[in-house]
Chain A
Amino acid sequence: MDSVTNRIHDFKSNASIIVKSFNSEYKKTPLRIKVIDAFIVYALLTAAIQFLYMLCVGTFPFNSFLSGFFCSLGFFVLSVSLRMQVDPSSTEFKGLLPERAYADFVFCGCLLFLVVWNFMG
């Protein structure tokens, strides 16, 4: 019994350390990235609520459900791509201007929305 209590205590202290260190590190993140993160969470939450609707109620109308769900996921993917490209700590896209990444994001977003609105019915 004691060992279980100890383990729970350890888990709580470890989790607390992880969260604190994440928060302290995340504070150093540039504002631009934080804004993109807000959009990423927004997209994920919208997708999750639609998924919940599908589980609780059903998929009718199916094409509208699919277009809404995949629009959220698509927007999430595009936002993550944008975040990777404009992150100053990322070495992979060094030399790529954030404006260029943003232009790509806008272009892909327009394309995604056209497809989604066409499919939505």
Chain B
Amino acid sequence: MIRWGITLLTLSICYRLSRTDEVFTTEDLKALRNVVLSRAGSSGDFGASAKDAYFGSGTLTLLGPMEKAQKGVVCRVASTQLASDAVDLEMAYYASQILGTAGCGDAKAEAQAEKVAVAALESGVNGIRSAYYAVSTLAALGRTAPAKALDSALQLLQKLKASKGRLRDTPKGAASLTATAHGYLIAAAAQRIGTIGSQHLPAVESLLSGIPQVLETAAGKGFLSDAHDDALEAITYFVQGIEATCSDECNLDKSQLAEVAKLLASARRVGSVQDAYYVLSGLSLLTSTGKLPKPVAISLLSASVPSSSPQVDVVVQDFKGNPVAVHGVEGGVSKKTKGNKKALTFVSKGKGSYQASLSGLDIGLGTFEVDVAAIEEGSRAKVASATFTVALTGRVEVPEATLTVKRTDTNVVQKKKSLSHPAMLDKAMDVDANSQLKVAFTVSFPGNAQPFTPQQVFISLKSRVSGAMVLVAAKAAQSSPNDYTATLGPSTIAKQIGTQGGLFDATLSIGDVALAEALVWPLGAVSVSHAPAGEGTAAPGQPPPTAAQLQSAPKPEIQHMFRQPDKRPPAVVSLAFAALSATPLLFLAIRLSQLGVNIKGFPSGTAATYALAFHGGLASILVLYTVFWLRLSLIDTFLPLAGLSLFTFWTGFKALSHHARADIKKE
């Protein structure tokens, strides 16, 4: 059943043919709105951080005008953050952006943000990001900055001037692009909040004149990719930067700008509000404002083209899905595996829609690669290009099939039956151990003049008893590629499912990605009987186990390798040595008795008490050691040991002091 299911699946499901997935749709916008609202709820509460509130409110603004309540929430966050004692430059930047864009009207908070930004500029900013924060804070609040304060920020542009398109400012590509983009934004903001000194003008001009080179590096050479964590931030700042500084469309290449837009659009399935802001902000600037050339993308309407109406339809759109009229669309088509490209002529079918016919190209059924490029009005430059895989699909027909049962030894035909599609056998055909069933048929593909070989042409036999299935691929004749033959008998069945006999349902199936519909023709019943298991013949074989049976079958026992036990001596030897090691104790006892050791010198009176307690303490310690050895852990032993040690120490000190004093007195 599983095999049958897999076969049907491959027959019925065509390959996933590539369609462009570059353009932002209304569904994508809904998904982004859901991401934002899932974080904040409809009230717009993004938490107490000014940074989170900035990205949240920015995204909501880009998705549509913010509600009054939402504005109130983010304004409160900005004011609260600026009122705190520990306001840093980054916090002031995000809070000021909120104050500026949401129109909060909190003069006190604005003054605090201005104070932080001016203080940062006057003390000398130490990084391009800090400079950007300081200058942008003042610009968002509509304040001005003295030329001297701006100097420290503008001096940093000298560094970027040297990188000019090579983005050397930082070792990482995305961070490097962010730094360069911050440079553009500093230059733009500096013009708004003050005057750029003449000493800085060459650096600013040089930086801005390098924008096309930076774009080429970033877009053309795969400088940025989704693999970079900061790529979204970098691209968005770059788009913001060029939008803020460019005039006369910056002489930017639209196809390169399209690469940047593609990167942004490809990241639209975001997981965070910050990323949602970056994607929306970048794409909005590329599609809405008049300052930047609007990049376009080409979409394929359908990847499956019927041979009865062989037309390829494409749409030229901007990255928000709006159709864009261009001068024209040109393209070519080629077989996927072989080159030999044939030109396609696209005809305009309304605003942004173009159609090319494949008829007359003599390309036959199958999958093809279609290259398409959009040509801009005026400059006649290619502004977008794409390659699609397109399937030219047709119908398959098998008008007739012939089923023949032949003896395998004499080749004598026992039974022959011809069927016209979709007729079935009226009576089961008998196939025994000495005969074979041959199915012959001719396929045709109406409307296709080119040779075409379907990927799957086979006969299946399904047991009515067990449901087990036998598959036999049909072979095409060499001289006539559309004539197929499939031969099967009891031996074929035995190889695949064991010696299962009885009635089988025979089916002819033909499928291919270039066929609009698979052909499935039930041919009728076939009665199969295997050789009887007599003397000297092998017993009927069991059908091979299915995948499910194999999975649930017992696994081979795992033999664990244990460490080999050490060689041990006989118990008697160990016992003998145990007794032997006790003999020195005997020696000690004898020797001590020889020496006349006794306890006559044991102190009396108070000293005796101390001496007894001291010896009792020592004995207790030894008993504790024994208990430790038998059951206690080291940590558990330490506490009672400490107590006993203190007791023994004190009593020992007292007993030995008495003893020492007695000795001294005696002397």
The residues of A with any CB-CB pair to B shorter than 8 Å are 31, 34-35, 38-39, 41-43, 45-46, 49-50, 52-53, 56-58, 60-61, 97-100, 102-103, 106, 110, 113-114, 117-118, 120
- By a CB distance below 8 angstroms, the chain A residues around B166 are none
- By a CB distance below 8 angstroms, the chain B residues around A60 are 566-568
CB of B634 within 8 A of chain A?
Answer: yes
11 intermolecular pairs with C-beta atoms under 8 Å apart: A31-B595, A31-B596, A39-B588, A41-B588, A43-B584, A49-B583, A53-B577, A98-B663, A100-B656, A102-B656, A118-B634
Q: Is the CB of A49 within 8 A of B569?
A: no
Q: Is the CB of A99 within 8 A of B660?
A: yes
Alpha-carbon gap, A119 to B577, bound state (A): 21
Alpha-carbon gap, A109 to B585, bound state (A): 18
Q: In the complex where A42-B585, A57-B577, A110-B621 touch, is A103 in contact with B652 (Cβ < 8 A)?
A: yes
A59's closest neighbor in chain B, by CB? B566
B569's closest neighbor in chain A, by CB? A57
Q: Is the CB of B581 within 8 A of A117?
A: no
Q: In the complex where A49-B584, A99-B659, A102-B656 touch, is A117 in contact with B625 (Cβ < 8 A)?
A: yes
Q: Is the CB of B597 within 8 A of A120?
A: no
Alpha-carbon gap, A97 to B574, bound state (A): 44
Alpha-carbon gap, A53 to B574, bound state (A): 9
CB of B591 within 8 A of chain A?
Answer: yes
CB of B618 within 8 A of chain A?
Answer: yes
B660's closest neighbor in chain A, by CB? A99
Q: Is the interface of A mostly helix, strand, loop or mixed?
A: helix
Q: Is the CB of A38 within 8 A of B569?
A: no
CB of B646 within 8 A of chain A?
Answer: no
- By a CB distance below 8 angstroms, the chain B residues around A39 are 588
Q: Is the CB of A45 within 8 A of B652?
A: no
- For A106, give its contact among B569, B597, B652 (CB under 8 Å): B652
CB of B86 within 8 A of chain A?
Answer: no
Alpha-carbon gap, A17 to B591, bound state (A): 24
Q: Is the CB of B652 within 8 A of A117?
A: no
Alpha-carbon gap, A50 to B587, bound state (A): 16
Q: Is the CB of B587 within 8 A of A41?
A: yes
- For A38, give its contact among B574, B592, B618 (CB under 8 Å): B592
CB of B628 within 8 A of chain A?
Answer: yes
Q: Is the CB of B584 within 8 A of A46?
A: yes
Alpha-carbon gap, A49 to B588, bound state (A): 15
Which B residues between 604 and 655 are near A, CB-CB below 8 angstroms? 618, 621-622, 625-626, 628-629, 634, 641, 645, 652-653
- By a CB distance below 8 angstroms, the chain B residues around A56 are 573, 577
B658's closest neighbor in chain A, by CB? A99
Q: Is the CB of A41 within 8 A of B629?
A: no
B588's closest neighbor in chain A, by CB? A42
Q: Is the CB of B573 within 8 A of A49?
A: no
Q: In the complex where A46-B584, A106-B618 touch, is A97 in contact with B660 (Cβ < 8 A)?
A: yes
- By a CB distance below 8 angstroms, the chain A residues around B574 are 57
Alpha-carbon gap, A16 to B301, bound state (A): 121
Q: Is the CB of B625 within 8 A of A99?
A: no
Most buried by B among A31, A35, A46: A46
Which B residues between 551 and 591 are near A, CB-CB below 8 angstroms? 566-569, 573-574, 577, 580-581, 583-585, 587-588, 591
Q: In the complex where A50-B581, A103-B656, A106-B652 touch, is A113 in contact with B596 (Cβ < 8 A)?
A: no
Alpha-carbon gap, A42 to B595, bound state (A): 15
Q: In the complex where A35-B595, A53-B577, A57-B569 touch, is A99 in contact with B657 (Cβ < 8 A)?
A: yes
CB distance from B665 to the nearest CB of A (A): 13
Alpha-carbon gap, A102 to B618, bound state (A): 13
- By a CB distance below 8 angstroms, the chain A residues around B597 are 31, 35
Alpha-carbon gap, A114 to B623, bound state (A): 11
Q: Is the CB of B660 within 8 A of A113?
A: no
Q: Is the CB of B656 within 8 A of A117?
A: no
Alpha-carbon gap, A35 to B592, bound state (A): 7
Alpha-carbon gap, A49 to B581, bound state (A): 6
CB distance from B568 to the nearest CB of A (A): 6
- For B656, give its contact among A42, A53, A99, A114 (CB under 8 Å): A99
Alpha-carbon gap, A80 to B622, bound state (A): 22
CB distance from B592 to the nearest CB of A (A): 6
Alpha-carbon gap, A34 to B131, bound state (A): 90
- By a CB distance below 8 angstroms, the chain B residues around A41 are 584, 587-588, 591
Q: In the complex where A106-B618, A110-B621, A113-B625 touch, is A38 in contact with B595 (Cβ < 8 A)?
A: yes
Alpha-carbon gap, A118 to B663, bound state (A): 38
Q: Is the CB of B581 within 8 A of A46?
A: yes
Q: Is the CB of B567 within 8 A of A58?
A: yes
Q: Is the CB of A45 within 8 A of B587?
A: yes
- By a CB distance below 8 angstroms, the chain B residues around A114 are 625, 641
Alpha-carbon gap, A45 to B588, bound state (A): 10
Which B residues between 49 and 102 are near A, CB-CB below 8 angstroms? none
Alpha-carbon gap, A19 to B602, bound state (A): 35
Alpha-carbon gap, A57 to B585, bound state (A): 22
B590's closest neighbor in chain A, by CB? A38
CB distance from B13 to the nearest CB of A (A): 67
Alpha-carbon gap, A52 to B578, bound state (A): 12
Alpha-carbon gap, A69 to B587, bound state (A): 19
B638's closest neighbor in chain A, by CB? A114
Alpha-carbon gap, A113 to B629, bound state (A): 11
Q: In the complex where A57-B574, A60-B567 touch, is A42 in contact with B628 (Cβ < 8 A)?
A: no
Q: Is the CB of A120 within 8 A of B660?
A: no
- For B577, give its contact among A49, A97, A98, A103 (CB under 8 Å): A49
Alpha-carbon gap, A31 to B594, bound state (A): 11
Most buried by B among A31, A49, A56: A49
- By a CB distance below 8 angstroms, the chain A residues around B663 are 97-99
- By a CB distance below 8 angstroms, the chain B residues around A43 are 584
- By a CB distance below 8 angstroms, the chain A residues around B629 are 117, 120
Alpha-carbon gap, A52 to B622, bound state (A): 27
Alpha-carbon gap, A16 to B588, bound state (A): 26
A68's closest neighbor in chain B, by CB? B581
Alpha-carbon gap, A53 to B581, bound state (A): 9
- By a CB distance below 8 angstroms, the chain A residues around B567 are 58, 60
Most buried by A among B625, B628, B634: B625
- By a CB distance below 8 angstroms, the chain B residues around A106 are 618, 652
Alpha-carbon gap, A39 to B656, bound state (A): 21
Alpha-carbon gap, A120 to B583, bound state (A): 21
CB distance from B614 to the nearest CB of A (A): 9
Q: Is the CB of B595 within 8 A of A58?
A: no
B570's closest neighbor in chain A, by CB? A57
Q: A42-B588, A99-B663, A113-B622 are in contact. List 7 more A-B contacts (CB 8 A).
A: A35-B595, A38-B595, A42-B585, A56-B573, A57-B574, A61-B566, A118-B634
Which 6 A-B residue pairings sit nearest by Cβ, starting from the closest?
Answer: A45-B584, A99-B656, A38-B591, A42-B588, A99-B660, A60-B566
Q: In the complex where A35-B597, A117-B628 touch, is A42 in contact with B577 (Cβ < 8 A)?
A: no
